[in-house]
């Protein structure tokens, strides 16, 4: 197999882009996976597809000014990174979190391009957001912020141009406020955002899609290894949209969910979470916007400031909180606690060295760009529904979601080498997505 240095001048490619730490690690990881594909294809080399994919089509950066409940003026950054529309309109979520920087969004937009390509849907890649922190803000403050954000964003988006969605800190409430403002400014009700509340053209099943898709992918990995998810102990991090619905489907499939977490700590359910506890938890987190430290449930214990991985035995781990939340130490904890399968519900929650621990231990590893692609695939169904002025049933969207996840699993298998006797899904996903993007870039000319 050719080394990266045989086919790419990676350091000058990276110097040209000057990425931050997160984007750099995403670029390096992809480069390692796809070097053999580039080595075999002279057209990819001649068209410089690797370098062309590193620089986004454009980066939109703007000021968001709004008034808080006390009458004070607040100022935040807003961004939209339109990475590539070679496969379809720019598509990717908006993240509202104080940690958001341009580097975070570059990395997320780049990953999104590969993920969206894997879904087989006609969507390009993008990402956006703000360093605004919705935590602790009143509904009115969140609404005023969303309206101010859209006052700038509306001129850059459109149903065939750029279709944003939710991500960390942006759920149905925020999408409703954003879309409401877009409709007022433009007079259009064209479905330009996905993840919309039902009354505004949302799709049944979109709320569940990312978490359900991650579990479907983990189940496919287990099946491919002649195993099943039934009866497995599943440790989950996060307690947001992805984590809660991953928990729901895992339990429906007969698995035991043994943990959830938020940035304050972890809740451990040593005997597995019950159906009624999950129902209460969804209301507690999604409606009451509570903190896990204030949640009390029978047979559950709270561990302040701790991640779940060292606290509980598990067969399957689903990191569903945020990027780089699983480091080497966490990965070793998982292996020591019995984990055999990891599927990333979040975007790149496992560091490069954590992935190395999984490889060495023969743990099956499903990367986020494959395992959490169900959310964006289902967002694309929402675009179909809106464009056709249709109303899909939940059954239709969930069946189609299942089909897409199985297809992504098959694409990974078809492109993945075996390492230490296990399928290298990380490489399979990178190669599967890259070939689609690269072929379209070649076809488009310069």
List residues near ligand NDP by CB under 6 A. 166-169, 171, 210, 238-243, 262-264, 320-323, 325, 345-347, 372, 375
Please, what is the minimum distance in Å from the beta carbon of residue 350 to ligand NDP? 12
Please, what is the minimum distance in Å from the beta carbon of residue 231 to ligand NDP? 26
| CB closer to ligand NDP out of 74 and 306 | 306
Please, what is the minimum distance in Å from the beta carbon of residue 356 to ligand NDP? 21
Please, what is the minimum distance in Å from the beta carbon of residue 262 to ligand NDP? 3
- 309 and 321 Cβ atoms separated by less than 8 Å: no
CA pair distance 111, 439, nearest whole angstrom: 18
E strands, 297-374, in order = 300-304, 316-319, 341-343, 364-366
Distance from the first to the final alpha carbon of the chain: 29
Please, what is the minimum distance in Å from the beta carbon of residue 344 to ligand NDP? 8
Of the candidates 140, 125, 212, the one whose C-alpha atom is nearest the C-alpha of residue 440 is: 125
CA pair distance 345, 322, nearest whole angstrom: 9
| CB closer to ligand NDP out of 37 and 143 | 143
Judged on CB neighbours under 10 Å (0-12, 13-18, 19+), 398 is buried
Of the candidates 4, 3, 11, 7, the one whose C-alpha atom is nearest the C-alpha of residue 41 is: 7
Tokens of 332: 């070793």
| CB closer to ligand NDP out of 49 and 281 | 281
| CB closer to ligand NDP out of 239 and 427 | 239
CA pair distance 367, 347, nearest whole angstrom: 8
Please, what is the minimum distance in Å from the beta carbon of residue 55 to ligand NDP? 22
User: Catalytic residue among 91, 115, 127, 285, which?
Assistant: 127
**How would DSSP label each residue in 328-382?**
HHHHHHHHHTT--EEE-SSSS-B-HHHHHHHHHHT-EEE-HHHHTTHHHHHHHHH
Residue whose beta carbon is closest to ligand NDP: 240
CA pair distance 175, 146, nearest whole angstrom: 8
CA pair distance 232, 255, nearest whole angstrom: 5
| CB closer to ligand NDP out of 236 and 314 | 236
- 127 annotated active-site: yes
Residues with a catalytic annotation lie at 127
């Amino acid at each position: 197999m050719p080394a990266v240095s045989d086919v790419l001048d990676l350091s000058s490619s990276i110097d040209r882009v000057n990425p931050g730490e997160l984007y750099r690690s995403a670029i390096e990881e992809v480069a390692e996976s796809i070097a053999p594909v580039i080595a075999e294809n002279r057209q990819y080399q001649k068209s410089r597809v690797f370098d062309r994919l590193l620089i986004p089509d454009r980066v939109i950066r703007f000021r968001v000014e709004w008034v808080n409940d006390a009458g004070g003026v607040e100022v935040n950054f807003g961004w939209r990174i339109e990475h590539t529309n070679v496969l379809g309109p720019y598509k990717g979520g908006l993240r509202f979190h104080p940690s958001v920087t341009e580097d975070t969004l570059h990395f997320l937009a780049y990953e999104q391009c590969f993920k969206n390509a894997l879904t087989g849907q006609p969507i390009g890649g993008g990402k956006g957001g703000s360093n605004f922190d919705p935590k602790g803000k009143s509904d009115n403050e969140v609404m005023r912020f969303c309206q101010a954000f859209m006052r700038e964003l509306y001129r850059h988006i459109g149903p065939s141009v750029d279709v944003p969605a939710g991500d960390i800190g942006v759920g149905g409430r925020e999408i409703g406020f954003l879309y409401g403002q877009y409709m007022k400014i433009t007079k259009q009700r064209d479905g330009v955002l996905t993840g919309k509340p039902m009354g505004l053209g949302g799709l049944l099943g979109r709320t569940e899609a990312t978490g359900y898709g991650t579990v479907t992918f983990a189940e496919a990995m287990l099946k491919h290894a002649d195993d099943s998810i039934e009866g497995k102990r599943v440790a989950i991090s996060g307690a947001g949209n992805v984590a809660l619905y991953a928990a729901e489907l895992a339990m429906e499939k007969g698995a035991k969910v043994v943990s959830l977490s938020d940035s304050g700590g972890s809740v451990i359910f040593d005997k597995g979470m019950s159906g009624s506890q999950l129902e209460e938890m969804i209301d507690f987190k999604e409606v009451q916007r509570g903190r896990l430290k204030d949640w009390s449930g029978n047979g559950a214990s709270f561990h302040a400031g701790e991640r779940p991985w060292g606290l509980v035995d598990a067969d399957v781990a689903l990191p569903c909180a945020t990027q780089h939340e699983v480091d080497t130490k966490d990965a070793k904890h998982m292996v020591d606690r019995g984990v055999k399968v990891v599927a990333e519900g979040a975007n790149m929650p496992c560091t490069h060295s954590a992935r190395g621990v999984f490889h060495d231990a023969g743990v099956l590893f499903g990367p986020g760009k494959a395992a959490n692609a169900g959310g964006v695939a289902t967002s694309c169904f929402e675009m179909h529904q809106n464009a056709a002025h249709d109303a899909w049933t939940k059954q239709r969207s969930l069946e189609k979601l299942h089909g897409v996840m199985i297809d992504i699993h098959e694409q990974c298998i078809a492109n993945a080498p075996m390492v230490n006797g296990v399928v290298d899904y990380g490489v399979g996903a990178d190669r599967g997505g890259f070939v689609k993007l690269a072929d379209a870039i070649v076809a488009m000319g310069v």
